[in-house]
Each structure stands twice: as structure tokens, then as C-alpha cells.
Amino acid sequence: MDCNKVGKLILDLRKEKKMTQKQLADAMNISDKTISKWERGLGCPDVSLLNELSEVLNVNIEKILLGDLEPNNTDGGNMRKIKFYMCPNCGNVITATGEAEISCCGRKMTALVPKPADEEHYLNVEAIENDYYITFPHEMKKEHFISFVAYVTYDKVLLVRLYPEQGGEVRIPTLRRGELYFGCSRDGLWVTKV
């Protein structure tokens, strides 16, 4: 751990939050002299303080340890580059259109790689009025179910969360041509064109 880099990051984040050294120190129940020491690179935060420092400054502990908060490249906003993340513990569904470090339940998650629909994982799509009526024969039990269906066009994402023991049907407003992504709690992410 490079104390100079860590100190500079703490200084930048503290100023970004418009906090004084005293305010940061009070939030962490430590001395403002300690904050000053860190920011001047004369020492690094103790491991026991990293979690609290992370929460107060709203930054990952890993980034504090690296002393680097490298921004992502600006994204053009194309939703077709969307990435889906599904927490294996709690089932949260998270999306990102650019590079991201996503974690849930204390674990880093990697983007799911979509597979083309197959004979076990597929959606039946029927246009009814101004909606797509989507049905699927996939089981919907606690151990194995479709957890979401997302309709992705160039500039929009419409995500419908599904739960075990719910019926195998969804109704989504018709937008323009896009893709339907659907997540299986056991077998990952699937995709089909509409």
C-alpha cells in the first residue's frame, strides 16, 4: 500500500464531499491529526478503520488500498452494450452499460455472458395490441426459475422481475426492434431477438 497515493485519494474524496479533516475525523471517532497524517502520506489507515472510511467516503475498500479511483471511459449510452449481473445469494439483478465493479452480498460479481435461446430456455413472444405477450414453459420453483425478463432496445431497458411460483408469463409494451434477455436462477443469462 502506497501511503502517498492513499493519502492523496483520501484528501480528494474528503474535499469532494466538502468535509473538513475535523468532520471526517468526527465521523470516524478518530483524531483530525490522524486524517492529516494520512493525507500527507506519513501513514496509512489501520485495517480496522478501512470499512468505516469506505462508508464515510462512499468508495470501495479496494480502491482506498490502491489509492486510485480511475474513472471509466465515457459511455455513448448504447443500451445494446448492456451487461447483466445476478447475485447468486440474494438474487439481485443489476445492469451496467459500461465497465463496472459490481458487488452484492460482499462478493464481486462478473457480468453474465448471454447464450442464445435453446430448447430448454426460450420465450414464446406474441404481439397483442401494443404489447408483447411473453410466455415460457420454464419451471418456476424456488430451486430453478426465470428471475427476470428484460427488453433491450438501442436506448431503453425495460426489466420485469419474476419470482418463484409465479406464472410463466410477462407482458411488455412494444417499443422498437430489440432483444429479450432472461435470467435463469441456475443456468445464467439467455437472449433472443424480437
Per-residue pLDDT of the chain (194 residues; tens, 9 = 90+): 899 999 999 999 999 999 999 999 999 999 999 999 999 999 999 999 999 999 999 888 888 888 877 765 655 556 768 999 999 888 899 999 887 888 898 888 999 999 999 998 999 999 999 999 999 999 999 999 999 999 999 888 999 999 998 889 999 999 878 899 999 999 999 999 98
Residue 43, CA distances (Å) to 46, 64, 77, 134, 174 in order: 9, 13, 41, 58, 58
3-66: what fold?
A: 434 Repressor (Amino-terminal Domain) (1.10.260)
For the chain, where do the domains classified as CATH 2.60.40.730 start and end? 79-193
Q: Would you report the helix, strand and coil content of the chain in percent, each value rounded to 5?
A: 25, 30, 45
Domain 79-193 class, CATH top level: mainly beta
pTM over 0.75: no
Per DSSP, the residues of 3-30 read HHHHHHHHHHHHHHTT--HHHHHHHHTS
Alpha helix positions (H), 58-193: 61-66
Q: How far apart are CA 11 and CA 8, in angstroms?
A: 5
For the chain, where do the domains classified as CATH 1.10.260.40 start and end? 3-66
Beta carbons within 10 angstroms of residue 149's beta carbon: 22
